[in-house]
């Protein structure tokens, strides 16, 4: 097996044999139990090196120009003649096709004649049959509180601030975020909300009554002084839950409207 492996190495190209031959022989000597696989690899390597691997080109002698290794190249006259014939034939063919468009084959996409459908459909099974099923759609439910809630939101900016998703219902999440929503109405940044910041008309003779007339503001104003202090704003999440009469965790128009 050693002589066979050595013979396979000597059959490799000279440049490959000189570079990798000693290493391959050393691996074979140290291998135990896998020499058959190494011989198979040597056969595969022999095939690859002679068929797939390019042979290296020796460098020119020192001191000579690199261009001396290139052979002179000149186009043969017969190649020019063949090229001229091919160019002339292609030119004549293009002119002929341009001048005779009706003589060329036409490629049609689809159908030449109009048709109602691609596949014929027989409707005999549908003719003369009466409908035996009726589908009735329910009338849309009209919320009687919706129009009142829309008008009330335009009147009271506090409701717009509390209802962040615009569904005219103060959800449980919006109740939790009520303090942060109310602080956005503090235009003078004094930490509290006066009646005008809550939506009272400018010059109103009784601004404190505006707070008491609106249930949302009245339930937050626990000390009944006609304004929402910083402490009352901080506790607004708990105060607003007093309006939840049905205990569903949210405030609907029938609960927060005056």
- Residue pLDDT, tens place only, 208-248: 788 888 888 888 988 888 888 889 989 988 988 888 888 88
- Residue pLDDT, tens place only, 85-125: 899 999 999 998 888 766 545 555 665 565 555 565 555 55
pLDDT at 145: 79
Residues 6+ apart with CB under 8 A from 232: 220, 221, 222, 223, 239
Q: Determine the Cα–Cα distance for residues 1 and 37; give it in Å rounded to an integer.
A: 11
pLDDT at 140: 76
Q: What is the mean pLDDT of residues 161-189?
A: 88
pLDDT at 90: 94
pLDDT at 70: 54
Provide the residue ranges of all domains of the chain, joining segments of one domain with +: 2-51, 146-256
Q: What is the mean pLDDT of residues 188-206?
A: 81
- Residue pLDDT, tens place only, 23-48: 888 888 887 777 888 888 888 888 88
pLDDT at 218: 87
CB 233 within 8 A of CB 222: no
pLDDT at 92: 93
pLDDT-derived band at 198, boundaries 50, 70, 90: confident
- Residue pLDDT, tens place only, 114-168: 555 556 555 555 555 666 778 888 887 777 778 888 888 887 888 888 888 888 8
pLDDT at 24: 87
pLDDT at 122: 58
pLDDT at 91: 94
Residues 6+ apart with CB under 8 A from 193: 182, 185, 186, 227, 228, 233
Tell me: pLDDT of 69 over 80: no
pLDDT-derived band at 21, boundaries 50, 70, 90: confident
Q: What is the mean pLDDT of residues 17-21?
A: 86
Q: Which pTM does this prediction carry?
A: 0.43
Dihedral, 220, 257, 157, 230 alpha carbons, nearest 10: 0
Query: Between 5 and 144, whose confidence is greater?
Result: 5
Closest residue by Cα to residue 236 from 178, 157, 163, 180: 178
Q: Determine the Cα–Cα distance for residues 210 and 217; give it in Å rounded to an integer.
A: 9
């Amino acid at each position: 097996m050693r002589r066979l492996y050595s013979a396979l190495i000597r059959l490799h190209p000279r440049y490959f044999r000189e570079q990798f031959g000693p290493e391959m022989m050393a691996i074979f000597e140290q291998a135990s139990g896998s020499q058959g696989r190494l011989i198979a690899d040597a056969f595969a390597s022999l095939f690859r090196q002679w068929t797939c691997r390019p042979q290296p080109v020796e460098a020119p002698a020192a001191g000579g120009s690199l261009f001396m290794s290139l052979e002179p190249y000149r186009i043969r006259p017969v190649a020019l003649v063949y090229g001229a014939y091919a160019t002339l034939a292609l030119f004549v063919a293009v002119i002929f096709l341009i001048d005779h468009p009706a003589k060329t084959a036409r490629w049609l996409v689809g159908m030449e004649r109009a048709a109602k459908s691609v596949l014929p459909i027989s409707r005999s099974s549908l003719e003369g049959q009466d409908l035996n099923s009726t589908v009735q759609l329910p009338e849309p439910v009209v919320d009687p509180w919706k129009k009142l809630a829309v008008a009330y939101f335009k009147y009271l900016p506090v409701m717009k601030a509390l209802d962040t998703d615009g569904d005219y219902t103060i959800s449980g999440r919006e109740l939790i975020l009520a303090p942060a929503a109310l602080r956005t109405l503090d235009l003078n940044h004094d930490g509290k909300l006066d009646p005008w910041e809550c939506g009272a008309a400018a010059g109103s003779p009784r601004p404190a009554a505006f707070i008491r007339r609106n249930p949302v503001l009245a339930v937050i104003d626990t000390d009944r002084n006609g304004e929402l202090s910083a402490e009352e704003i901080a506790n607004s999440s708990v105060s607003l839950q007093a309006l939840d009469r049905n205990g569903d965790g949210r405030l609907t128009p029938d609960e927060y409207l005056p």
